[in-house]
Amino acid sequence: MRRVAWVAIAICVSVVVMSIPARAAYTSGGSVDDNGEMDIHVGVATPGSNEPGQGGGANTPLVQYVLSWSVDDTPAQVGSLNGLCLVDGGSANPTFGFEYHLVGRDANGTIVDDRFECIAFPDGDTSVRPPAPAIPAVPTFAEAWNSAQLPAPTIALDPPSRGITGLETRITTAGPTTLTIAATIRGYTITGMATLDHYTISVDGGPPEVTDTSHYTFETKGRHLVAVSAVWHGIATMTGPDLPTALPAIDLGDATITATRPYTVNEIRSVLQP
């Protein structure tokens, strides 16, 4: 009797797209729980920085203020002499105050708020400096992006559920390219637009590839991780308490939303059959 050696290979080719709502947290990547469910994370990078992160730049206010009281060459909005100003100069008994200079710069260093405030001396005592005006507690970059509700990138795999060692797996992603930002944080209103800059695809923590379509050949069987990131850039206008006017063209920097999901890869083996 002759024995015939043959290999049984069954491959189902189709595409399944998974879209899961984002669960924002300020780290630079995603994770997968023990049940194998895809998780979504967001990382924020301020203007001029290259890497998203949890602290530092992400927790920086959208506008950073400096309060001073030294007399400089900048013309004041009210008359002043060595810091002395008039709170109410139109009455018969004018109220004197001390003048503070408040300057706010965005993350690029551009002055977006520049004003003088005259604070009345307590009980008219010019020997006691009055308390400084409150510095606007504007939202941070992290707070702004957290309220933007970025859509999670989809992950499409072909084969959809299990790969085969030595055979190519196709990884693709897609989604919207623009997003309206409308957020209210502690009384501040942020209105603007976010634009998709690019996608990246990474496998098993490897270097991310800037693309929306990747072809990857797994060499080992077992559980692997596929991560897809969407990098967004935002510009917005901000209004709110302690701001005299709307602050236009605030650069929100970049936000990277990353979806990570598990992918099981099987190994092909030859089996002798009678």
Number of continuous H segments (helices) and E segments (strands) in the chain: 1, 18
3-state secondary structure of 38: strand
For residue 129, name the pLDDT band (cuts at 50, 70, 90): confident
Angle (CA) 147-149-153 rounded to 5° is: 145
**Range with the poorest average pLDDT among 95-99, 180-184, 218-222:** 95-99
Which DSSP category does 208 fall into?
A: P
Tokens for 148? Answer: 């933007």
Give the mean pLDDT of 1-20.
Answer: 29
The Cα–Cα gap between 196 and 194 comes to: 7
Q: Where are the alpha helices (DSSP H) in the chain?
A: 141-146
Q: For residue 2, is it within any domain?
A: no
In a shared domain, residues 41 and 69? no
Give the mean pLDDT of 108-132.
Answer: 85
Into how many domains does the chain fold?
Answer: 2
Q: What pLDDT, on the 0 to 100 scale, is given for residue 94? A: 77
In a shared domain, residues 32 and 71? no
Average pLDDT score, the chain: 77
The Cα–Cα gap between 214 and 265 comes to: 17
Q: What pLDDT, on the 0 to 100 scale, is given for residue 23? A: 31
Backbone angles phi, psi at 198, to 5 degrees: -170, 165
For residue 85, name the pLDDT band (cuts at 50, 70, 90): confident
For residue 163, name the pLDDT band (cuts at 50, 70, 90): very high
In a shared domain, residues 33 and 156? yes
Question: Is 47 in contact with 251 (CB distance < 8 Å)?
Answer: yes
In a shared domain, residues 198 and 244? yes
Q: Is the pLDDT of residue 269 over 60?
A: yes
Question: Is 210 in contact with 242 (CB distance < 8 Å)?
Answer: no
